Amino acid sequence: MARPRRIVLVRHGESEGNADDSVYERVPDHALRLTERGWRQAEEAGARLREVFGRERVSVYVSPYRRTRDTYRALRLDPELVRVREEPRLREQDWGNWQDRDDVRLQKTYRDAYGHFFYRFAQGESGADVYDRVGSFLESLYRSFEAPDHPPNVLLVTHGLTMRLFCMRWFHWTVDEFESLSNPGNGEMRMLLLGEDGRYGLDRPFERWRTPGTERDHRIEWPSDDR
């Protein structure tokens, strides 16, 4: 089995939806473009990756969303050194078709109170659903390692939540651990590095917004009816 020395996860650059959430009412989530800032973020990530990979071969998996495909193009990796595959299982959490901004904002309030892993958007997925398809992808990824000529690097160009769930599945983190972590910023990356003991470790942790094990109050505080 030829396990890669590095598994690199990159979040797409800033998209139109990151800059203005009203765009979801007019453009499908999967069709959102990168902003000018998003293109710059992706190009900067590409400069770092070209330094990391050098002249080594890379097996690349890209979410089918436009912003992730454009991010990959902006990385400008040497086409002679990469093997690229579109991977639908690495797509963004589905929020359901056209989105009403006010309704989505309300559902996000519900999700913050209910928990990001278990809350299911009305017409879409829960974090647990994304976890399941990431697990399915990992099974395919493991099988690819059986090829004796597997590249020494793997690159996933995907989304923030998917990155956290990938690491949750890989490192067997608990739901509470997942809930304590923040998404990486646009254009940010994390690397799983193969150690001398044969185990992978993160090059740097995800930022935390709370301490794991801290109890959350899973209630929504509604405005008082007193007038």
What token pair was written down for 95?
A: 């929020």
Report the catalytic residues: 12, 92
Q: CB-based contacts of 38: which residues, under 8 Å, 6+ apart?
A: 12, 13, 14, 15, 18, 67, 70, 71, 186, 187
Q: Check residue 208 and report its DSSP letter.
A: B
Q: CB-based contacts of 103: which residues, under 8 Å, 6+ apart?
A: none
Task: Give the β-pairing of 82-86 and 58-62.
Answer: parallel
Task: Find out whether 163 and 8 touch, Cβ atoms under 8 Å.
Answer: no
What token pair was written down for 137?
A: 């992808």
List the alpha helices (DSSP H) in the chain: 16-19, 36-53, 66-75, 101-114, 127-144, 160-171, 175-179
